[in-house]
Amino acid sequence: MMFDAHRQNLGRLEEAGRRRRLVTAGGRDFSSNDYLALAGSARLREAAMQALARGVPVGSGGSRLLRGHHPEHEALETEAARFFGAEGALFFGSGYAANAALFATVPQDGDLVAHDALVHASALDGMRLGRAEVATFAHNDAGAADDAIAAWRAKGGRGTPWIAVESLYSMDGDRAPLDELALVAQRHDAVLVVDEAHGVGVSGPDGRGLAHALDGRPDVISLKTLGKAPGCEGALVCGPAVVCDFLINRARPFLFSTAPSPLAAAVAREALRALADEPWRRERLVALVAAAGRLLAPLGVTDTGTQVMPLVLGEDARAVDVAAALRSQGFDVRAIRPPTVPSGTARLRLSLTLNIGEADVAALARALPEVLS
């Protein structure tokens, strides 16, 4: 019968404890990426209302190369390039689209993309669509990245090497050794590509990200996601102007997609301003992260020193059961299972946001021992 193979596949996922279902948000927020609580803020709501009042449309009506290019897109890209210290910026509808477009388009035939073993699926999918050779190096190991490029050169590789990493890894909560990786890129005339999805907004001066000191270099491209700490949607590829121009001309996800909402671009402009002039949000988050480390680390939660703290439980079913038990007590905690994380490392991904406070973390600390017993 039609779709039998799909039903069987879903059945196997069910047996393995890996079948996914949509769960509506509810309870205390320990799962979102709204780290600075900007998504529902009065400031961004007001920005949206003001944009609508001045006639900014909800929809773009076409691709950027047809009639979908709006002054709000252009204004966002100009302001973002200035804010992040990049020569150019290009707006995409999502971080996934931006990553996939970048890696499918910019590295060329004869090049090498050496990527961290835990780099995001969107980057990997872009590499599969691209023409460059691909090599994986051990997580957060700059020496291994160096070795991967050296081995490729020894085999006759003559193109441009690209090093693909995230600044802060969303499932482990650890930071990349960006300074060391930048030295590797210099040594090999490589381009360092940094996905700042979980770094922008929460780190660096004015929330410009963990790679802020590297932005603007001719050998660095960074992805600044807007749908997490900035509280809106979309993503910006920031880097040399020639890269943005090349993406406009060659990136199929850009060429053949309806342009992002001009309204979203208008709100994103305000979000960048909020990052700069509301430092109290980052200060409160730093304090919350420190409190969570004190309260949750004794219970087995990894104290990463960042807003992402995993509790690795191992078995898929156990992670699902523990998450469900916590949700029944009013804590919105989600189980993360393979293939999102390596087999045998199913976990609770505890995300710290300003939608909660220290009292909520303390309540979770009291609830955890019971559900883990």
Indicate whether 71 pLDDT > 80.
Answer: yes
In this model, does residue 1 exceed pLDDT 80? no
For 160, residues 6+ apart whose C-beta sits below 8 A from its C-beta are: 107, 108, 111, 112, 189, 190, 191
Least confident of 113-117, 340-344, 351-355: 340-344
Residue pair 217/193 in contact (Cβ under 8 Å)? The answer is no
Would you please indicate which residues are annotated as catalytic (active-site) residues? Answer: 33, 120, 166, 170, 195, 198, 228
pLDDT at 22 over 90: no
List pLDDT tens digits, range 191-218.
999 999 999 999 999 999 999 999 999 9
pTM for this one? 0.95
* Residue 248 confidence (pLDDT) above 90: yes
pLDDT the model gives residue 23: 84
* Mean pLDDT value of segment 15-40: 92
Using CA atoms, how far residue 41 sits from 44, 48, 209, 307, in Å, is: 6, 11, 21, 19
Mean pLDDT of 64-91: 97
Cα angle 166, 171, 175 (rounded to 5 degrees) comes to 40
Percent of the chain residues topping a pLDDT of 90: 95
State the average pLDDT over residues 120-142.
Answer: 98
Q: What is the pLDDT of residues 140-162, one digit of tens each?
A: 999 999 999 999 999 999 999 99
pLDDT in tens, 215-229: 999 999 999 999 999
CA 286/CA 306 separation, integer angstroms: 8
Per-residue confidence (pLDDT) for residue 252, from 0 to 100: 96
Q: What is the pLDDT of residue 15?
A: 87
Q: Which domains does the chain have, with CATH numbers?
A: 25-38+279-372 (3.90.1150.10), 56-276 (3.40.640.10)
Residue 16: pLDDT above 80?
yes
Q: What is the average pLDDT value for the chain, to the nearest integer? A: 97
Residue 285: is its pLDDT beyond 90? yes
55 Ramachandran zone, left/alpha/beta (phi>0; psi -120 to 50): left
Q: Cβ-count burial of 256 within 10 angstroms (0-12 exposed, 13-18 middle, 19+ buried)?
A: exposed
Contact 221, 243 (CB under 8 A): yes
What is d(CA 132, CA 171) in angstroms, rounded to the nearest whole number?
27
Q: Strand, helix or coil at 221?
A: strand
Residues 6 or more apart in contact with residue 85 via CB below 8 angstroms: 208, 212, 215, 216
Q: What tokens were used for 231?
A: 């509280």
